[in-house]
Every structure is written in structure tokens, then in C-alpha cells.
């Protein structure tokens, strides 16, 4: 599929999923996109040891920021057709969905992931002065 500059697309970056604006092709297989909204919050922990807590580094993964640029595989882009949520509202929705799914898991990895997300929640949703 071919995309034009300005097209809205769904892009996966690492373990997060975002609604983005297509910016440009890069080296025939990749594209630069600009983040506009969050659809799925990234997974916490070590991606090479999924669902494990006893790993050398349990990664805390933030969602990509509003207007952040990312390089993604063109083959993974999907046209986006739908209402575009405000970035902060979309982040809150994706964050809450991730927390709800983790709460159902009831294991050590889920508990550690929830801890990391609670730390991110303070970062993401600071009270406005």
C-alpha cells in the first residue's frame, strides 16, 4: 500500500500502537510518522523474557509523546479511518485499558508492571497549574 504525506495511519512501535500522520518514506522499507494519539500502551518488562520479573533489567516503557517522530516499517502501517482522539485522552484510555488487563492477571509480572505504570501515571498526568 502506498501512503501520501499527511495520511493518517495506525503504526506499531515496539509494543505500543499509535495513530500517526505519515511524514515520508525512508530507505524504501521504512517510514517516518508523527504520533497523534495512543491506541495501545507499551508493555512493561523485558521483551526477551516476557512475563518474567527476575531479569537483568525490567524496562519501564513510556508511550511515544504527542508529535514525536518514529521510524517504522511501511509494511506494518494500516490506514486509519475513524475519529481522532485528543492525545491526552487517548493516552488515558490506553493507559487505563492496560492497567485493567494487568489487574486481571494476578501474578508477579503483572504486579511489577502495574508498579511501573503507576510511576508513569504521575509523569503523564501531572496536575495542571
Mean pLDDT of the chain: 94
39: pLDDT strictly greater than 90 = yes
Q: Across residues 85-93, what is the average pLDDT?
A: 97
What percent of the chain shows pLDDT beyond 70?
Answer: 98
> What is the C-alpha radius of gyration for the chain, rounded to an integer number of angstroms?
16
Distance CA 63, CA 46 (A): 16
Model-level pTM?
A: 0.92
Read off the pLDDT band of 106 (50, 70, 90): confident
CA angle, 81 as apex, 75 and 83 as ends, to 5°?
135
8-124 adopts what CATH topology?
SH3 type barrels. (2.30.30)
Q: pLDDT value at position 129?
A: 65
Amino acid at each position: 500500500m502506498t501512503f501520501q504525506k499527511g495520511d493518517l495511519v495506525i503504526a506499531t512501535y515496539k509494543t505500543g500502537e499509535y495513530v500517526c500522520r505519515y511524514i515520508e518514506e525512508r530507505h524504501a522499507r521504512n517510514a517516518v510518522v508523527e504520533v497523534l494519539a495512543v491506541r495501545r500502551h507499551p508493555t512493561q518488562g523485558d521483551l526477551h523474557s516476557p512475563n518474567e520479573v527476575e531479569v537483568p533489567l525490567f524496562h519501564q516503557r513510556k508511550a511515544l509523546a504527542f508529535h514525536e517522530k518514529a521510524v517504522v516499517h511501511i509494511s506494518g502501517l494500516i490506514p486509519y479511518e475513524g475519529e481522532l482522539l485528543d492525545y491526552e485522552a487517548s493516552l488515558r484510555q490506553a493507559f487505563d485499558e492496560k492497567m485493567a488487563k494487568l489487574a486481571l492477571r494476578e501474578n508477579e509480572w503483572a504486579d511489577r508492571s502495574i508498579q511501573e505504570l503507576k510511576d508513569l501515571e504521575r509523569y503523564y498526568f501531572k496536575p495542571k497549574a
